[in-house]
Amino acid sequence: MTGYGKAVVAYKEKKINVEIKSLNSKTLDLSVRIAPLYREKEMDMRHLIAKNLERGKVDFSIWTEKEAGTEAAAINAALVDNYYRQLKQIAGKSGIPEPQDWFATLLRLPDVTAKTETEVLEDEEWEAVQRAVGEAISRLMDFRRQEGAALERKFTEKIDNIEALLKSIVPFEESRVPKIKERIIEGLKQISAVDYDANRLEQELIYYIEKLDISEEKQRLANHLAYFRETMKETGHGIGKKLGFIAQEMGREINTTGSKSNHAEMQNIVVRMKDELEQIKEQVLNAL
């Protein structure tokens, strides 16, 4: 969901600037800063952003810049003339000396340079605004796609690592059963004056070993890994949430494998799988 886009569109004597940024969020959290002239169109802009971005903490700004020389306020010539005649009349009647710099005096008087016109949003300018917003959104989406491609490579690397670690468990798992059986028998031999039924011992060992069997967990984890890969190739809505759910299921199988391992090397491998999965969970929050 991370992205950034900016666009500048020229309209007459002004430049329309649009900037939009997005970060991770479970829903669309939109914050806007809009130039006063365009506030009447705020809901239209919000709808356009929501339609395209879907999710994320989004900051949207639109402002204008006028070209050099266009900011100067017009001088009210009629008012200046009126002030001048009044001051001349007052000076003549009261005997107060006339100012040496008439312009400096007159330009400081109220409303001489005040701007009185009110800007109105024209249809052509609104079209320019829509074009600028669209371009900014498009650039943000391009940024998101680049981030998504990087995430896909990261996820693929982590899934590959977990698959390799899962395969590395096999040799330890195969040697685990004879070691468990040998350890129990040796323990019984060390207890003096104890006689045991070999058949009953075999039955108990089978029951005990079945409780430690991780074949189903390995199969389910392998299925989840394959499903994660398939889901990354999908297009549409809610793929990030779906990947998050799959990652949770992967975590369950890895945790169960660890609790059943009863073997130091296997538990070390499980810890490494958990580390790889945590990195997936951290980054999957950024997937749309």
Whether residues 42 and 26 share a domain: the answer is: yes
Last residue of a domain, one of 159, 193, 213: 213
CA 6 to chain centre: 17
Give the closest residue to 83 by CA, choosing from 67, 71, 99, 65.
Answer: 99
CB 280 within 8 A of CB 247: yes
What pLDDT band is residue 13 in, cutting at 50, 70 and 90? confident
pLDDT of residue 85: 87
- 187 lies in some domain: yes
pLDDT of 59 above 70? yes
- 184 lies in some domain: yes
* Mean pLDDT, the chain, whole residue set: 85
CB 26 within 8 A of CB 4: no
Whether residues 133 and 202 share a domain: the answer is: no
pLDDT of residue 210: 67
> How confident is the model over 172-200, as pLDDT tens digits?
877 776 777 677 767 666 766 666 666 76
Mean pLDDT value of segment 8-37: 91
pLDDT of 258 above 70? yes
Whether residues 31 and 46 share a domain: the answer is: yes
Give the closest residue to 158 by CA, choosing from 215, 241, 224.
Answer: 224
- 129 lies in some domain: yes
What the block records as the tokens of 260 is: 């059943």
pLDDT of residue 192: 62
What order do you get walking across the sheet with 3-11 strand by strand? Answer: 3-11, 14-23, 56-66, 28-34
pTM value surpassing 0.85: no
Tally of domains within the chain: 3
What pLDDT band is residue 71 in, cutting at 50, 70 and 90? low
> How confident is the model over 119-140, as pLDDT tens digits?
788 999 999 999 999 999 999 9
The lowest-confidence range among 27-31, 43-47, 192-196 is 192-196
Last residue of a domain, one of 166, 194, 213: 213
pLDDT of residue 167: 92
Domain of residue 102 covers 77-107
SS3 77: helix
SS3 207: helix
Whether residues 62 and 181 share a domain: the answer is: no
pLDDT of 204 above 80? no
CB 52 within 8 A of CB 141: yes
Mean pLDDT value of segment 230-249: 89
